Amino acid sequence: MSERGPFDLTGKTAAIVGGASGIGEAVVRGFADAGATVAILDANEAGARALAGKLGSAVTAVTVDIRDRAGVEQAFAGVVAAHGALDIVVCTPSINVRKPILQYNDDEFDRVVAINLKGSFNVLQAAGRIMTSQRRGSIVVFSSIRSQVVEPGQSVYAMTKAGIVQLVRTAAAEFGTSGVRVNAIAPGVVETPLTAPIKSNADWYNAYAAKSALKRWARAEEMVGPTLFLASDASSYVTGTVLFADGGWTAIDGRFTPPGM
């Protein structure tokens, strides 16, 4: 553990998958501030390079499509070749097609599963091979409150986010004897470019805000602390768990407040 504290990432190499925007971008910035050498892995090459250019020589950009297993393996191998190790991997990407089950088509189903579930599996597998070999490391994969609670139109997205939880638990069981920890974060509603369409609908936006105990949406940077905790030595005995960073969304029913309360 660092003399500067358990959250210090000085000397650590972190790969942030999906780090060019949204929650991933916030994590890149937060980890760089914590002292890590950071590789941004993203399909958005221009966005990743632009962000790396703003943050200095300790941050680099690597283009990768997480649906491509060989490409993911090559990207992680490149990080190891450049920096000597892969200490932390954070996987954030996901997509959603909001549709009733009866209206879903094959292409929509395949696209959501390919990014959210197959992509997360590819990241876990490639990172796990490297980390179990070096006998250390921490992997953090983003799930969602939709792994536990749903609403109409969330069937395939919720299925993939629940699947991520079980992937993480299994990876934790398999990698633990090699000193590798694997955990998940389950955010609630977070203001990012991907949720902009909801924000533009006042009724929808306000309904989501009202559902949490804090009565507001999260900012992307509010996901940095939970991610840093799970990635760092601060959580050295935490593995196979899901950290809900949801403003209390899953803790309360919220449908009715009894009189006098």
Among residues 47, 38, 12, which one has the least CA distance to residue 233? 12
Q: Is 245 helix (H, G, I), strand (E, B) or coil?
A: strand
Burial of 38 by CB count in 10 Å (0-12 exposed, 13-18 middle, 19+ buried)?
buried
User: Nearest to residue 94, comparing CAs of 137, 131, 43, 53?
Assistant: 43
Q: How far is it, in rounded angstroms, from Cα 49 to Cα 196? A: 23
Q: What is the pLDDT of residue 89?
A: 98
Task: Output the pLDDT for position 55.
Answer: 97
Q: Please name the residues in contact with 250: beta carbons below 8 A apart, sequence gap of 6 or more.
A: 145, 148, 149, 186, 188, 244
Nearest to 138 by CA among 59, 73, 233, 220: 233
Contacts of 177 (CB under 8 A, 6+ apart): none
Q: Is 205 a catalytic residue?
A: no
User: Considering 104, 157, 205, 237, which one is annotated as catalytic?
Assistant: 157
The two tokens of residue 153 are: 């139109």
Write down the pTM of the prediction.
0.95
pLDDT tens string 26-70: 999 999 999 999 999 999 999 999 999 999 999 999 999 999 999
pLDDT in tens, 154-182: 999 999 999 999 999 999 999 999 999 99
Give CA angle at 63 (59, 65), nearest 5°: 135
The number of angstroms, rounded, from the C-alpha of 16 to the middle of its chain's C-alpha atoms is 9
Alpha helix stretches (DSSP H) within the chain: 22-33, 45-55, 69-83, 106-113, 119-134, 155-175, 196-199, 202-211, 224-231
Give the single-character DSSP code of 217: P
* pLDDT score recorded for residue 3: 61
Q: Within the chain, which residues score under 70 in pLDDT? A: 1-4, 254-256
- CA angle, 141 then 175 then 142, to 5°: 5
pLDDT of residue 259: 79
Report the pLDDT value the prediction gives residue 197, as an integer from 0 to 100: 85
Query: What domains are there in the chain, each with its CATH number?
Result: 13-191+221-245 (3.40.50.720)
pLDDT of residue 199: 86
